[in-house]
Amino acid sequence: MPFGAHMSISGGVSKAFARGQQVNCEVMQIFCKNERQWKGKPLLSEEVAKFKAEQARTGIGPVVVHDSYLINMAAPADELWEKSIAAFCDELERCALLDVPYLVTHPGAHTGSGEEAGLEREAVALRRIFEAGVGAPVMVLLETTAGQGSSLGHRFEQLARLFELVPHHDRMGVCVDTCHIFAAGYDLRTPETYAATFEAFDRTLGLERIKCFHLNDSQKALGSRVDRHAHIGQGEIGLEAFALLVNDPRFKHVPMIIETPKEKELLEDIENLSLLRSLVK
């Protein structure tokens, strides 16, 4: 299994590779701009060249980008919706410049308009982006969510609905977050519940659509719909679920990326990744 972590881009996107190498990443997730701002500085050709050179030097890949937390393409308010589409297009173009294959996004929040209205709003935005060819061939990975507030994507059926509404399946996949699906009510803790959860995913969406995993334990209980990440094996999910996942031959080549809490020295990343590797039989 290719394991990695979300790494900081402080000092420039190319700097993430040295940090990834420090914690023994084989794959890696980054932001491609400041995730708390709508607009980022343009990616200069020199930084793009450094990024590609560092990737070649370290051999870390694929790199996955997570979009800004500000983006909400399910928003009913036109101003926020248009602003979100523009920001997402910018992120797709940045990924294309960096030769990053995947851009992970949460499927938005309906903020009171209702689930179906929110999903349709998200779908209209995605269709518009794909029909314009923005960022091709970068694939958008819809991330499973915990379902906090009015967030969409906490049921497999909601993601399936987006695939129904958006016909551009060559540019769409799924990122499964273990903390999120557990908080949303999908159990992983025993061989039986693990099998049932992925049977439900396969029946609803198809396992072939999973292009990335976020491996996070959960501070909160099954079905809590609260998104709080914990270190591997130190939360409500527990080690057995991760042992089942990292030994599942169906996901042998799927990037598995941790987003667990960490301090500046990154020792926690080293420990979590070492633990995951130790579970592989």
The set of catalytic residues is 36, 66, 69, 106, 143, 177, 180, 214, 227, 229, 259
Structural tokens at position 274: 């070492």
110 in a known ligand binding site: no
269 in a known ligand binding site: no
Q: Which residues pair with 172 in a beta bridge?
A: 140
Measure the CA–CA gap between 63 and 102, rounded to whole angstroms.
Answer: 8
259 in a known ligand binding site: yes
67 in a known ligand binding site: no
Alpha helices in 156-264 (DSSP H): 156-165, 178-183, 191-204, 239-246
143 in a known ligand binding site: yes
3-class state of residue 228 by DSSP: coil
Terminal CA-CA length for the chain = 11
106 in a known ligand binding site: yes
180 in a known ligand binding site: yes
**Total residue length of the chain:** 281
- Among residues 27, 37, 36, 33, which one has the least CA distance to residue 6? 27
What is the DSSP track for 41-98?
Answer: ----HHHHHHHHHHHHHH----EEEE--TT--TT-SSHHHHHHHHHHHHHHHHHHHHH
Known binding-site residue numbers for Zn(2+) = 66, 106, 143, 177, 180, 214, 227, 229, 259
